[in-house]
Amino acid sequence: MNQRHAPESPARDFTLETLVESLSAWHADHAVEDDAEGLQVAVRRRVAVETQALASLMMADEDRQRLSALSRWLEENLARLASVLEERETQRLPRSWACDHRGGRLLDDGRVVMVNAIDRDLLGHGAEIVQDPVADLASLLVGLEVRDEARLANQALDAYLRHSGDYRAARLLSLFRVLECLAGARRALRRLEAAEGDDERPALRAETMGACRRYLELAERHAEFRFPPLVIGVGVSGSGKSRFTRSLVARLGAVRVSSYAERRRLHGLSPQGEPGEEAVDIFSVDATERTYQRLARCAGSLLDAGLPACIDATCLAQAQRDWLRHQAESRGLPVLLVSFEADQATLTRRITKRAGRYGATAEDGLTVLSHQQERFESFSDEERYHLVRLDTTADNAGETLAGMIQEHMHWS
């Protein structure tokens, strides 16, 4: 196996934002060119090792039965996702990000969330073998979820996919999340095994069994079949759609797909860059069509993965909205169109404020707004069936949006 072992990076502390940036950059720069084993074989081997190791540590029949059901689920999903794994053969890691970032901690507002930034097991099977980048992402998410940090986990998933653009990775996320949960349960039981003869063993047994079962419960949640919704945000510049769709990430666990980020990515630009630095026309008719087709593909990948998707785009044309809506309807999944609305004075004020923030002229932004308003195509009768309108100037607009989505789509 041809692997490049770079010198370990010095230990450092990460915020969630800097951790995601480091993780996505590492994954982009450390693809394996040659591997004799193959991704599918490596993943199957890790599944076998983890399930066998965990089974050998379990004593209760109920726990063994739960593990047996999860093992069957893993085997079934390995078969179901074989084509996806084969497709991603060239996008793998030589080894985990954590191997070269030992000692890194994840902090949130100065609070230590995890002393191992992505909660990766560097001693067990899997740390050094070739795996898909989603293995590291799944480890981070499971580490946060098992610590009841769902808000951070939602933000981490959304940010990683936006930084990397690797929305296809979502198809493998449940598989690797379940696998990481089993690894966590195995680590918990190993601590009990290592404490043989300790006077505190009864208390430790209760603690470790509780930790093991938390991991098993989390694995079972990720193995559940889900019917994720698609939320399509519609609105002109300054309407508040980006701000409010971002809020759905933390509030409801949606993954946001931004036309701004994906349009720039299609032209080889940083999805995180500031407006106005483009050297090419990224707003041509052809570029816009390719952008919406890209948004539709990203949404489809998220929905196939059982993840709720939220589109942040102007969606001026009915054809654009139809491309997106079809991703949910063709899969028999619920879809909601949210029209983000504000009065003209508010739109003007927001655009002027934004222009000042980026050192641009307000006149250019207001010209774009006028052009968007002229081009906006009214909602069709069929679209109105899925439509809700949100006044983004209202004091409780965020709570109203979350409530409307849960009411219309039974999403909680």
**Tens-digit pLDDT profile for residues 249-305:** 888 889 999 999 999 999 988 888 776 666 567 889 999 999 999 999 999 999 999
Provide the pLDDT confidence category of residue 16 given band limits of 50, 70 and 90. Answer: very high
Q: Assess contact for 362 and 355: CB atoms under 8 A.
A: yes
Q: Is the pLDDT of residue 248 over 90?
A: no
Higher pLDDT pick, 187 / 406: 187
Domain boundaries, the chain: 13-223, 230-409
User: Taking residues 98-108, what's their average pLDDT?
Assistant: 88
- CB burial of 109-126 (b: ≥16 within 10 Å; e: otherwise) equals eeeebbebbbbbbeeeeb
If DSSP codes are grouped into helix, strand and coil, which group holds residue 309? strand
Which two tokens mark 132? 């898909």
CATH class of 13-223: alpha beta
Name the CATH superfamily for 230-409: P-loop containing nucleotide triphosphate hydrolases (3.40.50.300)
- Write down the pLDDT at residue 181: 97
Mean pLDDT of 346-360: 86
Say yes or no to pLDDT of 126 above 70.
Answer: no
The band of 208, judged by pLDDT with boundaries at 50, 70 and 90, is confident
Q: What digits encode the pLDDT tens for the residues 293-345?
A: 999 999 999 999 999 999 999 999 999 999 999 999 999 999 999 999 999 99
pLDDT value at position 279? 53
Query: Would you say residue 83 has pLDDT above 60?
Result: yes
**Burial (0-12, 13-18, 19+ Cβ within 10 Å), 277:** exposed
CA distance 31 to 9: 18
Q: What is the pLDDT of residues 147-179, one digit of tens each?
A: 999 999 999 999 999 999 999 999 999 999 999
pLDDT at 33 over 70: no
pLDDT at residue 301, as a whole number: 96
What pLDDT is attached to residue 35? 56
Q: Residue type at 307?
A: L
Averaged pLDDT score across all residues of the chain: 88
The answer to whether 222 and 178 have CB atoms below 8 angstroms apart is: yes
User: What band does 34 get if pLDDT is binned at 50, 70 and 90?
Assistant: low
Residue 385 pLDDT? 93
- Residue 109: pLDDT band (50, 70, 90) is very high
* CA–CA dist 44, 21 (Å, integer): 29
Q: Assess whether pLDDT exceeds 90 at residue 403.
A: no
**Residue 199: phi, psi to the nearest 5?**
-65, -25
Neighbouring residues of 287: CB distance < 8 A, sequence distance ≥ 6: 263, 266, 267, 281
- Which CB contacts under 8 angstroms, 24+ apart, belong to 226-229? 226/306, 227/332, 227/333, 227/334, 228/302, 228/303, 228/306, 228/307, 228/308, 228/309, 228/333, 229/308, 229/309, 229/328, 229/333, 229/334, 229/335, 229/336, 229/405, 229/409, 229/411
More confident residue, 10 or 294: 294
Tell me if 13-223 shares its fold with 230-409. no
pLDDT of residue 150: 94
Name the residue with tokens 């899925």.
386
